[in-house]
């Protein structure tokens, strides 16, 4: 199950209490105070883990709590610190406050954010001994931890995002180019959640391709499934519009897709993009799949994910495009 939004309450650990104790040993007159300090409470840490791709682990775990510090003991024994809790999330996860304000955006794998510090342990009575007060009876309680409710939102990190209407052939393209196995069928909304696949296009070179659930007209208003997944397009480097060449409405569908993206986030239209006309195997000649009236001057390809027609050219284009963008990002 793919889960990209959860709300959880996180708590740092309470500090342990300081100990009030006095030495009572045979032949040791006036032993004095020997109460130890309490241990510090555990902290809450967020860490981006590239082995994860969903927030499912936290859907049924509404409360996440770090360990509390151990109380101090006699003989000046300090209590152990509480265990930190590391909340592992997929790269691309945004941690927001209940107000919606962004706390941290965990983009890079291995990135850590120390969110809540544990409560400090209390001081034992040995800490309060002075030349005037040699037998203090005071000991501090540990400080309580902090409790905060946060919203976790995942935006997939992919090099290329497949965008199109239902049954445009996006899942078939992904399954043909990568080892991913999305569900493929001849009815709308076969894809109910985003799928990622690694496409190898040259020796030791690859890029990440995302198949996103189909958009429909009005998706930005919540119609269909697309509105829920439009956010995942924001992190892709290149958009690949998949148009069904058998529909007879390629111009209209392309404009509708661009309209939905613009209504969701105008910045999406500034991303570089390419166009693929799918299902070329259903024509007598594959080149007939390209509508003569299509006027957009962007890079476009006629492909058949079933027969493999045009797929090598498409992969070379996407690979070179992604490589160019990565190089540009590193030079900034």
Predicted TM-score (pTM) above 0.85: no
Looking at domain 160-331, which CATH architecture does it have?
3-Layer(aba) Sandwich (3.40)
The reported pLDDT for the residue numbered 211 is 82
Identify the CA nearest to 217 among candidates 270, 261, 167, 168: 261
The reported pLDDT for the residue numbered 214 is 59
pLDDT in tens, 258-276: 888 888 788 888 888 999 9
Are 12 and 41 within 8 A, CB to CB? yes
Percent of the chain at pLDDT > 90 equals: 37
Domain ranges of the chain: 1-154, 160-331
pLDDT in tens, 220-262: 444 444 555 667 778 888 999 999 888 878 888 888 888 888 8
Are 95 and 47 within 8 A, CB to CB? no
Query: What residues contact 189, with CB distance under 8 A and at least 6 apart?
Result: 166, 213, 214, 224, 225
Q: CA separation (Å) from 106 to 12, 109, 154, 170, 272?
A: 20, 8, 10, 28, 24
3-state secondary structure of 29: coil
Domains 1-154 and 160-331 belong to one CATH topology: no
The reported pLDDT for the residue numbered 195 is 75
Looking at domain 1-154, which CATH architecture does it have?
Distorted Sandwich (2.70)
Angle, helices 170-177/311-331, rounded to nearest 10 degrees: 80
The reported pLDDT for the residue numbered 227 is 53
Q: pLDDT tier at 36 (50, 70, 90 boundaries)?
A: very high
The pair of three-digit structure tokens given for residue 223, joined into one six-digit string: 């119609």
pLDDT in tens, 59-94: 888 899 999 999 999 999 999 999 999 999 989 899
Span 29-56, average pLDDT = 89
Q: pLDDT tier at 101 (50, 70, 90 boundaries)?
A: very high
């Amino acid at each position: 199950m793919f889960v990209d939004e959860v709300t959880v309450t996180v708590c740092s650990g309470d500090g342990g209490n300081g100990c009030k104790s006095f030495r009572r040993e045979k032949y040791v007159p006036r032993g004095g105070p020997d109460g130890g300090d309490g241990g510090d409470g555990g902290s809450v840490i967020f860490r981006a883990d590239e082995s994860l791709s969903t927030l499912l682990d936290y859907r049924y775990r509404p409360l996440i709590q770090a360990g509390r510090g151990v109380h101090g003991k006699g003989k000046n024994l300090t209590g152990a610190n509480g265990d930190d809790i590391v909340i592992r999330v997929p790269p691309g996860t945004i941690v927001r406050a209940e107000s919606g304000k962004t706390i941290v955006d965990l983009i890079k794998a291995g990135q850590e954010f120390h969110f809540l510090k544990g409560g400090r342990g209390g001081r034992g009575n040995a800490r309060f001994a002075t030349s005037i007060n040699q037998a203090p009876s005071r000991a501090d309680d540990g400080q309580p931890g902090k409790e905060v409710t946060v919203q976790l939102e995942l935006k997939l990190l992919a090099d290329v995002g497949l965008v199109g209407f239902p049954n445009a052939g996006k899942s078939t393209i992904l399954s043909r180019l990568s080892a991913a196995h999305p569900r493929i069928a001849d009815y709308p909304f076969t894809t109910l959640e985003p799928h990622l696949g690694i496409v190898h296009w040259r020796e030791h070179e690859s890029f990440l391709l995302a198949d996103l659930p189909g958009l429909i007209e009005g998706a930005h208003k919540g119609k269909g499934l697309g509105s829920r997944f439009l956010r995942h397009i924001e992190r892709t480097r290149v958009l690949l519009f998949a148009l069904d060449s058998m529909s007879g409405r390629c111009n209209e569908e392309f404009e509708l897709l661009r309209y939905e993206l613009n209504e969701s986030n105008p910045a999406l239209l500034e991303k570089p993009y390419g166009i693929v006309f799918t299902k070329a195997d259903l024509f007598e000649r594959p080149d007939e799949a390209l509508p003569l009236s299509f006027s957009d001057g962007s890079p476009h390809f006629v492909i058949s994910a079933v027969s493999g027609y045009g797929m090598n050219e498409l992969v070379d284009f996407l690979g070179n495009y992604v490589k160019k963008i990565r190089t540009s990002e590193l030079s900034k």
